[in-house]
């Protein structure tokens, strides 16, 4: 793979992790729905967090959302496929890093995560809302994240620091990882779009 192609892949991956999946990007599309009201203002606030999850569960109960579930199953399977590849670099790089990315402010599930988890009948992990934003993430253990990758907050799964990404790019299996990852990104957007079709007023 040429240096230019690797740079383009880096930019695309960073775009996916930092722009396409920001919770704020979809808030405006659903905040008009009568079920949600103002509960989407701050997902780091306990009442908003719990209200949003409750409303999403109501929609899954009310409608036949099998399409959302089928998409989520594909996402879940893809994450499991690429997890060993990512973990091998986490073990090598993250364990010796002095600038830990895994802070409390990133350890919250967002609206999109609730869609994904609820469609698979997975209950989100309990959240400690009393941590300061710069405290270590409550899910961070001695050997890294204590949660299986397929049920971690998406803000964690979609983020790769520059050092990690550069190491990943140099590996022979990176092309396979990139193909699965970008397919998963497209599926994630499709999952959200399909769910939003049930949120029309």
Does 13 score more than 80 pLDDT? no
SS3 37: coil
| Residues β-bridged to residue 22 | none
Rounded CA-CA distance 154/81 in Å is: 16
Which one-letter DSSP state was computed for residue 136?
B
Q: Average per-residue pLDDT in the chain?
A: 80
The residue that leads in pLDDT, 123 or 5, is 123
Does 2 score more than 60 pLDDT? no
pTM here is 0.82
Quickly state the pLDDT bin for 162 (edges 50, 70, 90): confident
Which one-letter DSSP state was computed for residue 126?
P
- Averaged pLDDT for residues 117-142: 91
- pLDDT, residue 17, reads 45
- pLDDT, residue 25, reads 44
Tokens 């230019």: give the residue. 4
Does 85 score more than 70 pLDDT? yes
Backbone angles phi and psi of 114, in degrees to 5: -65, -40
Rounded CA-CA distance 165/14 in Å is: 9
- Averaged pLDDT for residues 33-39: 51
Does 69 score more than 90 pLDDT? yes
Closest CA to 22 of 126, 144, 106: 106
Quickly state the pLDDT bin for 60 (edges 50, 70, 90): very high
- pLDDT, residue 11, reads 46
């Amino acid at each position: 793979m040429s240096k230019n192609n690797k740079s383009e892949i880096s930019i695309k991956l960073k775009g996916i992790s930092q722009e396409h999946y920001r919770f704020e990007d979809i808030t405006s599309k659903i905040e008009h729905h009568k079920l949600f009201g103002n509960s989407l203002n701050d997902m780091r606030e306990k009442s908003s967090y719990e209200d949003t999850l409750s409303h999403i569960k109501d929609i899954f109960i009310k409608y036949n959302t099998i399409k959302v579930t089928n998409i989520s199953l594909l996402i879940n399977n893809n994450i499991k496929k690429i997890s060993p590849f990512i973990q091998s670099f986490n073990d090598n790089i993250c364990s010796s890093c002095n600038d830990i990315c895994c802070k409390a402010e990133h350890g919250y599930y967002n609206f999109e995560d609730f869609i994904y988890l609820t469609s698979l009948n997975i209950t989100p992990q309990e959240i400690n809302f009393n941590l300061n934003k710069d405290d270590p993430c409550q899910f961070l253990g001695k050997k890294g994240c204590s949660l299986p990758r397929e049920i971690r907050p998406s803000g964690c799964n979609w983020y790769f620091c520059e050092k990690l990404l550069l190491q990943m790019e140099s590996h022979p299996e990176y092309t396979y990882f990139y193909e699965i990852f970008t397919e998963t990104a497209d599926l994630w957007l499709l999952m959200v779009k399909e769910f939003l079709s049930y949120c029309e007023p």
